[in-house]
Chains A and B, each alone.
Chain A
């Protein structure tokens, strides 16, 4: 066990990938000499060379597109998109090419590229640096989408993403890069595409992922003052979603809050609400409640605290669920 930040854990995970898989390589903007704007890849170019850690020209479609091409040649590229809001020049390559290569080839081969994207708000930044576009990718079949919430998961899930034979969009909760935690570098974490119950409870369930897992845990802790015992699920995987774990929890607690930073309309929370209503309707004591962003472009930093789900918003949602 070693204590490290999520940023260091990701860096250590990538280092292990580069050490163990000779076909793996990193490509992205400023990831080499600078080590990435968040320093996730710091030192890797010096240790693995410019063929394995590639400072690319400044062009996201080019980064994703050339990664697909290298994958077709047998390489395992791990592409970095610098910020969530900058993925869209590469969106065409991700949705029309990366996601569909296996279907197009009739299952003969795919393009198992990993795309790392720092995402989410709460960092007081300027436009395009605080977004949560995961639902836009989740709607695209052929992709897998995962997001760690703690250093141990970060260390293992990035390695599992590279090992996966399907393309993986790897969302990194950037405001948790400096969150410290224990990392067990000898025992692999659970399957990257499964959810984890991070707090057991009996009265209601909060399902979330990425940056809001610590918020949900804090809300659950606060709810004990009201005598409520809240279960918290870290989904970890956004596509596929481990509905078995969510449904089993709801069958136990009877109440479900889903929270994410992304806008609620057309979001992951809505999908979970629909699936749970299909599979556990008679277990529900109240409607599934979504706590997420509003239907607006991500707001300016001075007001983002009012936009983002926080402990109070989750406690309010719990009140509404119990009052129903």
Chain B
């Protein structure tokens, strides 16, 4: 399997569903679709559509001043849903800050994600509930964490034979982008992973743009080719083809779980929207640049296939639109109702154990704030220990 995957990486891009919705066959990866039935295919589409609707609602919330910032993912839904749906619940995921679609596949509730962008939390959700780590804002800093986590997994699984590894093994996924592929920590994470043969899948969404800088500035060769330099398989996949992404990621995860070591996947996709809501893509790319990617839209592609094969009818798409609007309304309602954070919570979360400076500064802060209390509360607070 390894040799095939490596051979694929250098020249080709795995594609199982063409932009016209035509299903292709691939001896290596098509078998992973054998068990994907109509319901799961509709589920893929539903995940992508809901993710896009969420993305639109969050963008609107930012425009309305309810979020400090939003990081759109439009165009990357297939790469995210396809890879996320390939993981098992026991696998552990290290996302970048744009993995809202992967989060959906890990059952992270959409409103929770907005806590980060509404200035309420730097973590958003509890990673231990769904094995989906917090967003990391420093590019590529999460990459060695993923490798290290996988090294921990190896130690937990010490002594397991191949059969048990294949059946019960855990894999780790490290998401990153074409921009962060240039960071030193990406390199180091791959060196450590190769050195330890750690069960980690490096999943790159090459969305062609690092804010304003095109891919060619980061690399002169497909990123998947770099895997050969580390000594593990690298696979280039059509990132707007959810079936190919799903199949390739399934293969990679099974390879990693069963003791085969790391895999690098480069999903070719396109950031159809801005880098963030603070970005202005008209400064660095034109509608002519964007135009070729329109017909490659991952949702259109799967919709064509579902309709052509009679796997989804008009009612399905109509109901999905209704469900999307309901989800968006709930996201908005819950996001606007988040409890406000307090600075006291910030004091409490710096250290696990008692810390004299934290205690001293928190006491100062309380006294200072109490000085602004009105006359009635001041009377009460005068009784507090100083």
Q: Is chain B a partner of chain A in the same complex? A: yes
B155 within 8 Å of A by Cβ? yes
- B200 nearest CB neighbor, chain A only: A69
B-facing mask of A106-122, CB < 8 A → 1, else 0? 11111010000000000
A185 within 8 Å of B by Cβ? no
Contact between chains at A97 and B145 (CB < 8 Å): yes
- A71 nearest CB neighbor, chain B only: B148
Give chain A nearest CB distance to B183 CB in angstroms.
9
> B residues bordering A, Cβ < 8 Å?
92, 121-123, 126-128, 133-134, 136, 138, 141, 143-153, 155-156, 158, 184-185, 188-189, 191-192, 195, 345-346, 348-353, 355-357
Chain B residues with Cβ below 8 Å from A166 are 351-353
Interface centre among B141, B158, B350 (most CB of A within 10 A): B350
> A residues bordering B, Cβ < 8 Å?
25, 51, 56-57, 59, 61-62, 64-75, 77, 89, 92-93, 96-97, 100, 102-110, 112, 141-142, 144, 164-166, 240-244
Contact between chains at A68 and B145 (CB < 8 Å): yes
A-B pairs with beta carbons under 8 Å apart, 22 shown: A25-B155, A56-B192, A57-B188, A57-B191, A59-B188, A62-B147, A66-B145, A68-B148, A69-B149, A70-B151, A70-B155, A73-B152, A93-B185, A96-B138, A97-B145, A102-B351, A103-B350, A108-B123, A141-B350, A142-B351, A166-B353, A241-B357
Give chain B nearest CB distance to A279 CB in angstroms.
10
Contact between chains at B145 and A69 (CB < 8 Å): yes
Contact between chains at B188 and A243 (CB < 8 Å): no
Chain B residues with Cβ below 8 Å from A75 are 152, 155
Contact between chains at B136 and A97 (CB < 8 Å): yes
Considering the chains assembled together, what is the distance between the CA atoms of A208 and B42 in angstroms? 68
Chain B residues with Cβ below 8 Å from A64 are 144
- B121 nearest CB neighbor, chain A only: A106
- A165 nearest CB neighbor, chain B only: B352
Given contacts A96-B138, A103-B122, A108-B126, contact A66 B351 (CB under 8 A): no
Considering the chains assembled together, what is the distance between the CA atoms of A72 and B351 in angstroms? 16
Contact between chains at A165 and B353 (CB < 8 Å): yes
Contact between chains at A93 and B141 (CB < 8 Å): yes
Contact between chains at A240 and B123 (CB < 8 Å): no
Contact between chains at A89 and B184 (CB < 8 Å): yes
- A49 nearest CB neighbor, chain B only: B158
- B141 nearest CB neighbor, chain A only: A97
Contact between chains at A62 and B191 (CB < 8 Å): yes
Q: Which 4 pairs between the two chains have the least Cβ-Cβ distance?
A: A69-B148, A65-B144, A73-B152, A66-B148
Give chain B nearest CB distance to A66 CB in angstroms.
3
Considering the chains assembled together, what is the distance between the CA atoms of A77 and B148 in angstroms? 10
Contact between chains at A59 and B192 (CB < 8 Å): yes
Contact between chains at A103 and B147 (CB < 8 Å): no
Contact between chains at A61 and B144 (CB < 8 Å): yes
Across the interface, A51 reaches (CB within 8 A) one of B150, B155, B192, B357, namely B155
A-B contact count (CB 8 A): 137
Give chain A nearest CB distance to B341 CB in angstroms.
9
Considering the chains assembled together, what is the distance between the CA atoms of A112 and B353 in angstroms? 11
Given contacts A102-B350, A108-B128, contact A72 B122 (CB under 8 A): no
Considering the chains assembled together, what is the distance between the CA atoms of A175 and B354 in angstroms? 32
Chain A residues with Cβ below 8 Å from B145 are 65-66, 68-69, 72, 97
Contact between chains at A92 and B141 (CB < 8 Å): yes
Across the interface, A61 reaches (CB within 8 A) one of B121, B184, B346, namely B184
Interface centre among B138, B143, B149, B189 (most CB of A within 10 A): B149
Contact between chains at B122 and A164 (CB < 8 Å): no
Given contacts A57-B192, A66-B151, A110-B352, contact A104 B144 (CB under 8 A): no
Contact between chains at B349 and A102 (CB < 8 Å): yes
Contact between chains at A164 and B353 (CB < 8 Å): yes
Chain A residues with Cβ below 8 Å from B355 are 240
- B193 nearest CB neighbor, chain A only: A66
Chain A residues with Cβ below 8 Å from B188 are 57, 59, 61-62, 65
Give chain B nearest CB distance to A89 CB in angstroms.
7
Given contacts A61-B184, A89-B184, A106-B345, contact A66 B353 (CB under 8 A): no
Contact between chains at B152 and A74 (CB < 8 Å): yes
Chain B residues with Cβ below 8 Å from A67 are 148
Considering the chains assembled together, what is the distance between the CA atoms of A64 and B142 in angstroms? 11
Considering the chains assembled together, what is the distance between the CA atoms of A142 and B346 in angstroms? 11
Contact between chains at A103 and B346 (CB < 8 Å): yes
Considering the chains assembled together, what is the distance between the CA atoms of A99 and B192 in angstroms? 22
Chain B residues with Cβ below 8 Å from A51 are 155, 158
Give chain B nearest CB distance to A30 CB in angstroms.
14
Interface centre among A102, A103, A164, A243 (most CB of B within 10 A): A103
Give chain A nearest CB distance to B93 CB in angstroms.
12
Give chain A nearest CB distance to B123 CB in angstroms.
5
Chain A residues with Cβ below 8 Å from B155 are 25, 51, 70, 75
Chain A residues with Cβ below 8 Å from B147 are 62, 65-66, 69
Contact between chains at B357 and A240 (CB < 8 Å): yes
Considering the chains assembled together, what is the distance between the CA atoms of A152 and B49 in angstroms? 63
Give chain B nearest CB distance to A59 CB in angstroms.
4
Considering the chains assembled together, what is the distance between the CA atoms of A141 and B153 in angstroms? 30
Chain B residues with Cβ below 8 Å from A69 are 144-152
Considering the chains assembled together, what is the distance between the CA atoms of A106 and B134 in angstroms? 11
Across the interface, B153 reaches (CB within 8 A) one of A73, A103, A112, namely A73
Considering the chains assembled together, what is the distance between the CA atoms of A166 and B351 in angstroms? 6
Given contacts A69-B149, A75-B152, A96-B138, contact A107 B144 (CB under 8 A): no
Considering the chains assembled together, what is the distance between the CA atoms of A25 and B195 in angstroms? 17
Chain A residues with Cβ below 8 Å from B128 are 108-109
Chain A residues with Cβ below 8 Å from B356 are 240, 242-244
Considering the chains assembled together, what is the distance between the CA atoms of A97 and B138 in angstroms? 9
Interface centre among A70, A112, A164 (most CB of B within 10 A): A70
Give chain B nearest CB distance to A278 CB in angstroms.
11
